[in-house]
Chain A
Amino acid sequence: MKSLRFALIFIGAVGVVVGLLMLTVIFSSEREEVPVIDAFLTLVPSWSFIGTGLFAWWRRPNNRTGMLMVLVGFTWLLVPLQLSDSPALFGVSMFTSNISWVMLAYLLLAFPAGRLESPWHRWLMLGFVLDAVVLVALTGVFSGPELETWDCSDCPKNPVSIWESPDLARLFDSMAAIGGVILLVILVVVLVRRYRSLGSVNRSAIRPVLSVGALTVLLIGVLISTQALDLSDTITQVVFVITVGLISAIPFAFLVGLLRSRFSAAGAVSELISTLGDTKTQELDIRGALAEALSDESLEFLYWLPDREQFVDGTGRVAELPEKGSGRSWTPAEHDGELIAAITYDDSLGDDRQQIKATGSAAALALRNQRLEAELRANVEELRASRTRIVQTSDRARRELERNLHDGAQQHLVSMALTLRMAQSKIDEDPDAAKELLGQASADLAEATTELRELARGIHPAVLTDRGLGAALGALATRSSVPVELGEVPEDRLPPPVESAAYFVVAEALTNVARYSQATRADVSVQMENGHALIEVKDNGVGGADINGGTGLRGLQDRVAALDGTLTITSISNVGTTIRAELPCVQ
């Protein structure tokens, strides 16, 4: 911000210096009869444009309107070059004297966004450049050393007279005049249509600019016509003075417009509310409306999902609030004290926080609906991610199963086959050795059986299917290396998916307790409440469990979420960890 301010002050200083230099050009000109008027006509509009432009630039650094206004001011400052007695400067002026008109057209066309909105606006601008710069320069090139076309006998010798051809020069001159009038008419039409397409708030912002601007454009048209029709100098001069007066008023009109669009908070809010209240625009783009009301196209909503305690963007992806120094700020949008969304916007709107908050809260009710949509998208997104994880988990489990079968039972069986062969070959000559080998084979077999049994149990415990959750959790408690107190467990059977999920929640939780918690006891219970099974595993260990810590808990969360349940983990350092799963029991 500080460097911007210095840059703007510098530009302002340059503007003053260039203005003063132009004064010397005007006052030293031998052709100028009343230099004071010309000085006045030069400095008032250009310094107005530069000054108000710099102010707008400073307040709205992201909006190019301020910069465009400064450019108009500077190009206007170049106009008196045509009064110069130096042929070189006079030659330059042939190319530059009309740039200010082109810039002014550009400014009008680009207001209030500061940029051209459609490609054909660019074509229109190209037309202005061709007309006001290229055709005028061509006229100069062909009109000979004495500049007959422009009837300027006391001008310096034409430095760009390359090929004298009065006919061509007159042709270009007329083309420039006719083209200029046509282009100005088109510009007026565009501006009027623009004005009519806007809402009332933006209308009030743009009205002063457009009315002054359109009037100016019209007068420029008249000016061109009077010059082309060779009407008396008095009329031309009167029109010229009125036009310049109007032009000087334009920057102030811009300033008023910018201030209106910027500071009429109440206006922006009421505009937004009336847009939101319009039933025909149910599918309206609140973001777009707010972005327009606050003139920040980069404005975004991040919806707050209280269940997940996360922000998500419109597509449902988890999003973070902008950090300080990132160039973006945020303001909460609340409804009845409930956080609905965060509005993120460019830092340059920073001092408008109150307005953004008011506008955002006005939109909060409508935002609630959009939040539902975002939540839905977030669920779909989460579902997609969880489906991927479930596939990955099941793949991993299969690989593990394959490895366990391969490294465990199969190895024992292979070893047993070998031992039996050896026993077979020895049974006649050395029955004692054969007996020992048979013993070994039996031991291998017992090992293989044990491993297969444990493996089968890990895949799905038969006791759960046969005897239900109580017995299965009892078995888990028995196997746990940390003492487990098994509390309440419903006697009635629950739906099989719920029993499975509950079992694996407890199994995984107890595994974690044994591995990481250093707990001396764990409490397990399953309670029925409002058709939900509440599964709780609590330990008195060191805490520090995190859902994102490993695949185990994440897998549990997916399993629970697949049944529309929720899994919460509360882990407090040196107090213990509580894993709670809530599963709806729909039969």
Chain B
Amino acid sequence: MRAVIAEDSVLLREGIARLLADGGIEVVGQSGDGEDLLRKVRAHKPDIAIVDIRMPPTNTDEGLVAAKTIRAENPEVSVLVLSQYIEESYALDLLADNAEGVGYLLKDRVSDLDNFLDAVRRVAGGGSALDPEVVSHMLGRRRVDDPLDALSERERAVLALMAEGRSNKAIAEALVVTGSTVEKHVTNIFDKLDLDATPVDHRRVLAVLKYLEN
């Protein structure tokens, strides 16, 4: 698996490169800004680009713009955006149209090596990854007549993991239950929230996010 990293802090960039290498992922290019990233992605055609959201020259959401450009130009290149903000608007902006091969994680997650590598592999493989913190914010939002109140605690946990982009198998492992139990929960959730059941993992991420957004 080949990756390009874009991060303006050299220290952090080197650190990420090292932990990717340790995890068996080949880092084929490193950039410090969006322009250079686009150049390197076009040149190397990596499996995944890992992009810091805030980069020079504007230091706003350069990374996010670059990520969307990459998705538009090279749909086969997955993008994982690292952000210091727990703001769902960034995530939704990125994941809104197509959650396949897209991820949005808080920067701190890199220190959680296993989960981070898992997320990188999942996104590189065409799946999605949405930061648990962002998901919990979206789930935690107080609504008038909240339909989420109808969900059991277990169902909420399953919904959260779905929103993070986990597969049924991963959810079953995380909650230590069987796959069929997870499936039953998923069906219940979709019923209660009045959503069309979409079984495929990364497609349902979108459905769930769209639902939570409104």
Contact = CB atoms under 8 A, between A and B. Distances in A.
A550 to B, nearest CB: 24
Contacts of B61: 466-467
Contacts of B88: 474-475, 478
A461 B141 CA distance: 18
Contact of A462 (B60, B137, B142, B143): B60
Interface string A461-495: 11101110011001101111111110000000000
Contact of B85 (A450, A457, A478, A484): A457
A449 interface: yes
Contacts of B144: 483, 485, 520-521
A453 B85 CA distance: 7
Contacts of A483: 142-144, 146
Contact of A477 (B85, B93, B111, B141): B141
A558 to B, nearest CB: 28
Interface residues of B, number: 21
Interface string B120-145: 00000000000000000110111110
Nearest to B140: A478
Given A483-B144, A484-B142, A466 B60 contact: yes
Contacts of A446: 108, 111
Given A479-B137, A483-B142, A483-B143, A463 B89 contact: yes
A478 B141 contact: yes
Nearest to A462: B85
Given A445-B111, A446-B111, A449-B108, A474 B146 contact: no
A234 B69 CA distance: 126
A475 B111 CA distance: 26
A568 interface: no
B85 A465 contact: no
B86 interface: yes
A315 interface: no
Given A442-B111, A485-B144, A463 B85 contact: yes
B89 A482 contact: no
Contacts of A521: 144
A158 B85 CA distance: 111
Interface in A401-434: none
B90 interface: yes
Contacts, number: 56
B87 interface: yes
Contacts of A453: 84-86
Nearest to A521: B144
Contacts of B60: 462, 465-466
Interface in B84-120: 84-90, 93, 108, 111
B51 to A, nearest CB: 15
A442 B54 CA distance: 24
B142 A480 contact: yes
Nearest to A465: B60
A481 B142 contact: yes
B137 A478 contact: yes
Please indicate which of the listed interface residues B88, B90, B142, B144 has the most CB atoms of chain A within 10 Å of its own CB.
Answer: B142
A475 B108 CA distance: 20
Nearest to B62: A466
A475 B142 contact: no
Contact of B90 (A442, A463, A477, A482): A463
Q: Give the residue among B84, B87, B88, B111 with the most A Cβ atoms within 10 A.
A: B87
A155 B88 CA distance: 117
Interface string A117-134: 000000000000000000
Contacts of B90: 463, 466-467
Name which of B61, B85, B143 has the most chain A CB atoms within 10 A of its CB.
Answer: B85
A456 B108 CA distance: 15
B138 A478 contact: yes
Nearest to B139: A478
Contacts of A478: 88, 137-138, 140-141
Contacts of A474: 88-89
Nearest to A450: B108
Contacts of B143: 483
Contacts of A461: 87
A394 B87 CA distance: 26
B108 A467 contact: no
A575 B199 CA distance: 46
Nearest to B83: A462
Contacts of A470: 89
B84 A475 contact: no
A470 B86 CA distance: 16
Contacts of A475: 87-89
A442 B84 CA distance: 17
Contacts of A442: 111
Contacts of B108: 446, 449-450
Contacts of B137: 478-479
Contact of B87 (A456, A471, A481): A471
B89 A467 contact: yes
Contacts of A465: 60
A446 B107 CA distance: 11
Contacts of B138: 478
B36 to A, nearest CB: 21
A523 B74 CA distance: 42
Contacts of A457: 85
A457 B146 CA distance: 27
B25 to A, nearest CB: 22
A519 B84 CA distance: 32
13 contacts: A442-B111, A445-B111, A450-B108, A453-B84, A456-B84, A462-B85, A463-B90, A467-B89, A467-B90, A475-B89, A478-B138, A478-B141, A481-B142
Given A453-B86, A461-B87, 17 more contacts: A442-B111, A446-B108, A449-B108, A450-B108, A462-B60, A463-B85, A463-B87, A466-B90, A470-B89, A474-B88, A475-B87, A475-B89, A478-B140, A483-B146, A485-B144, A520-B144, A521-B144
Which 6 A-B pairs have CB atoms at the shortest separation, nearest pair first?
A471-B89, A483-B142, A463-B87, A478-B141, A466-B61, A483-B144
Interface of B: 54, 60-61, 84-90, 93, 108, 111, 137-138, 140-144, 146
